[in-house]
Amino acid sequence: MSINGYIDYQRREYCKAVACPLQVDLDCQLAGSPAAEKIRYECQTACRHTTYEFHHWLINKGYLVVRPE
């Protein structure tokens, strides 16, 4: 759900911005291919970046983390 006047974080925006090597490899693969799925699995289970890095990237880019009451 978007908030008027704000933009939503786009999927893998952080990964692309920091030029994650896995994201670079993923961009070269066909969506849904076995190679792409292998890379996606590695991203899901062994991300090379920390939540701390991601959170601070969000803050530096002006993102707000919100949730309904």
Decide if 8 is inside a domain.
no
Return the closest-CA partner of residue 45 out of 37, 55, 53. Answer: 37
Average pLDDT, the chain: 93
Decide if 6 is inside a domain.
no
- The 10 Å Cβ neighbour count of residue 22 is 16
pLDDT band at 69 (very low <50, low <70, confident <90, very high): confident
The range of the structural domain enclosing residue 33 comes to 13-60
Question: What integer is the mean pLDDT of 5-29?
Answer: 94
DSSP letters spanning 4-68 = TT--PPPTTHHHHHTT-HHHHHHHTSPTTSHHHHHHHHHHHHS-SS-HHHHHHHHHHTT------
pLDDT of 1 strictly over 90 = no
Decide if 1 is inside a domain.
no
Decide if 66 is inside a domain.
no
Decide if 7 is inside a domain.
no
- Rounded to whole angstroms, the Cα distance separating 4 from 12 reads 22
Count of structural domains within the chain: 1
Q: What is the pTM for the complete model shown?
A: 0.81
pLDDT of 66 strictly over 80 = yes
